[in-house]
Amino acid sequence: MSLDPLLLAGLALLVLLAVLAIRTAMFRTRQVAVRGIDAPDLDPEAPRRLARALQFKTITQRDPSEIDADAYRAYREYLEEAFPKVHDAMDRTEINEHSILYRWEGTDSDSGSVVLAAHYDVVPVDAPDQWDHGPFDGVIEDDFVYGRGALDDKASAIALFESMEMLIAAGYSPRRTVYLAIGHDEEVGGEDGAAAIADYLEQHGVSPSVVIDEGGAITVGAVPDVSEPVALVGVAEKGYLSVEIRADGMGGHSSIPPEQTSIDVVTTAVQRLRDNPLRASLSGVTGETLQFIAPEMGPAGKTAFANLWLLRGLITWALTKDPTTDAAIRTTTAPTILDAGVKDNVVPSTARAVVNFRIRPSESVKDVMDHVRSQLSDLPITLHPQQQGEPTRVSPMNDEWFDLVQRTIREVADGVVVAPFLVPGTTDSRHYASISEHVYRFAPFRLTEDDKHRIHGINERISISCYRTMIAYYMQIVRNADALGDAPGSDGAASEAPEVTAHERSA
């Protein structure tokens, strides 16, 4: 007996549809269920304290000797005046003069520590007259606090103090030691600030259970097919490599041009690197991002991501079509400098280009150099690696510390979807990755498309309701961390945890 081929094909299609449907139905949410908590009553003076902090011109400079040291000093004195309880309860250490580390001793010296990090330097303002309010006036208008640093990152820096001040006022004593790590040079790499703070902690034998820093926010309308806001928690940062490509010794008169000029060679090299980028892949952090977000999507998105076994290639291809998602799934290749020639009738003897790569965590500086060499091996050029840094390690996305951050966000910001993500840029937190396995980059302010342009841009501002959420978040991080039982030396297993234990995961 032989079956009709059409019938066979029909049966196969039915089976395929059934598999797709079953896998989609089994695609469970990765969002933990929580009971929301009410944000604490905010002292009416709190927004004004933030506004005042925005008035100090703690403007970053490439050359550290050029900063206005008086402004930095005045800012630190202001902290003492504005947050007396913190300054009573915590020890304070100045690091490289301008960075500050506060230590609030925990009641259980064996239970590890929590580092809450932020920075108080800000980028310069290039068009002050285009602001509605002076960038350093610290104006409050219509539920917004305006000023340079309102989002990046003085809101976090001041919310940290405000939240600790409130915990102290409420009589709270932390079980785990709490550090506030306030850097002063994040915008120029954090070498004198966060890197030195991390060194200091390491020298004092501190390896924090968790580090919370800036890097992610609550995005509004940024993720297609998800109606709720999505809180993106940075779990790693990309690496960095700039490579100079040079072609030398090919000059001549432009009336009889040589067969190959230095400009030809360098532009060919750049074009070849652009045409042959490093491979895009859904594995790694961005793959996990999708696993957290996709179950919250509409039926089409859910079906697609529940069935990566079938659609991985297609989805990867689709993600490469948008520069933002493309950057999330591969090491990017960006030509940034092109330099040759001095006179219109001279074929320059030298041409140079610089190409900047942002390296995803599964690749390294060496992998990228190998790729560049193999792509350009036949060209008469020399390669000169310049600034470089490896990608950070990836903090866990499936353990109790990620859960703690996720739970805390959902407690203070009702109804948001939480997902880990790969931070495309760099922050101070890369320096803490060497002393803690758990570094999470997130502050719970809402970020619309419009707000994104305000960071490092014009009319930077934060709403007072977001600011209130930030304060609630830092308070709750400390409380939830204290409730989590994983004292070092207890080999990380479920130790004598207080009542609030890690919840059941539903995924």
In angstroms, give the least distance from the CB of 193 to Zn ion: 11
CB closer to Zn ion, 30 vs 119: 119
Torsion region of 121: left, alpha or beta (phi above 0 gives left; psi -120 to 50 gives alpha): beta
460 binding Zn ion? (CB under 5 A)? no
Q: Active site residue: 186, 288, 411, 460, which one?
A: 186
Site size toward Zn ion (CB under 5 A) is 2
Binding track over 98-117 against Zn ion, x by CB under 5 A: --------------------
In angstroms, give the least distance from the CB of 427 to Zn ion: 6
SS3 94: strand
Q: Please identify, among the stretches 146-154, 164-172, 440-448, 461-469, the one whose residues bind Zn ion according to the rule CB under 5 A.
A: 146-154
CB closer to Zn ion, 64 vs 252: 64
In angstroms, give the least distance from the CB of 414 to Zn ion: 26
CB closer to Zn ion, 152 vs 165: 152
237 binding Zn ion? (CB under 5 A)? no
Q: Which residues within the stretch 241-270 sit at the binding site for Zn ion (CB under 5 A)?
A: none
Q: Which residues within the stretch 150-169 sit at the binding site for Zn ion (CB under 5 A)?
A: 152-153
In angstroms, give the least distance from the CB of 121 to Zn ion: 8
Q: Please identify, among the stretches 108-116, 149-157, 287-295, 378-386, the one whose residues bind Zn ion according to the rule CB under 5 A.
A: 149-157
Q: Show Cβ contacts of residue 389 under 8 Å, excluding neighbours closer than 6 positions.
A: 239, 240, 241, 365, 426, 430
482 binding Zn ion? (CB under 5 A)? no
The DSSP result for 315-358, as a single string, is HHHHHTTSHHHHHHHS-EEEEEEEEE-SSTTEE-S-EEEEEEEE
In angstroms, give the least distance from the CB of 355 to Zn ion: 26
Report the amino acid identity of residue 110. D
User: What is the C-alpha to C-alpha distance for residues 411 and 494, in angstroms, rounded to an integer?
Assistant: 23
In angstroms, give the least distance from the CB of 32 to Zn ion: 28
In angstroms, give the least distance from the CB of 149 to Zn ion: 9
Annotation says 187 is catalytic:
no
- Of 182, 172, 122, nearest in space to 149 by CA: 122
296 binding Zn ion? (CB under 5 A)? no
Report the amino acid identity of residue 387. Q
288 binding Zn ion? (CB under 5 A)? no
User: What is the C-alpha to C-alpha distance for residues 329 and 280, in angstroms, rounded to an integer?
Assistant: 5
* Bond from prior residue into 153 cis (ω within 30 degrees of 0): yes
User: What is the C-alpha to C-alpha distance for residues 188 and 341, in angstroms, rounded to an integer?
Assistant: 31
CB closer to Zn ion, 153 vs 451: 153
Annotation says 437 is catalytic:
no
- Of 40, 105, 120, 15, nearest in space to 74 by CA: 120
64: tokens are 């550290």
DSSP H or E run through 104? strand 99-104
CB closer to Zn ion, 155 vs 265: 155
Task: Give how far Cα 100 sits from Cα of 118, 192, 200, 210, Å.
Answer: 10, 11, 11, 19
CB closer to Zn ion, 183 vs 229: 183
Calculated CA dihedral for residues 37, 39, 40, 44, nearest 10 degrees: -170
Q: Please identify, among the stretches 87-95, 144-152, 158-166, 294-302, the one whose residues bind Zn ion according to the rule CB under 5 A.
A: 144-152
CB closer to Zn ion, 194 vs 231: 194
User: What is the C-alpha to C-alpha distance for residues 303 and 294, in angstroms, rounded to an integer?
Assistant: 9
Q: Which residues within the stretch 342-361 sit at the binding site for Zn ion (CB under 5 A)?
A: none
CB closer to Zn ion, 151 vs 226: 151
User: What is the C-alpha to C-alpha distance for residues 301 and 41, in angstroms, rounded to an integer?
Assistant: 40
The residue written with tokens 């390294």 in the block is 364
The counts of H helices and E strands in the chain are 16, 19
Q: Which residues are catalytic?
A: 121, 186
Task: Point out which residues bind Zn ion (CB under 5 A).
Answer: 152-153
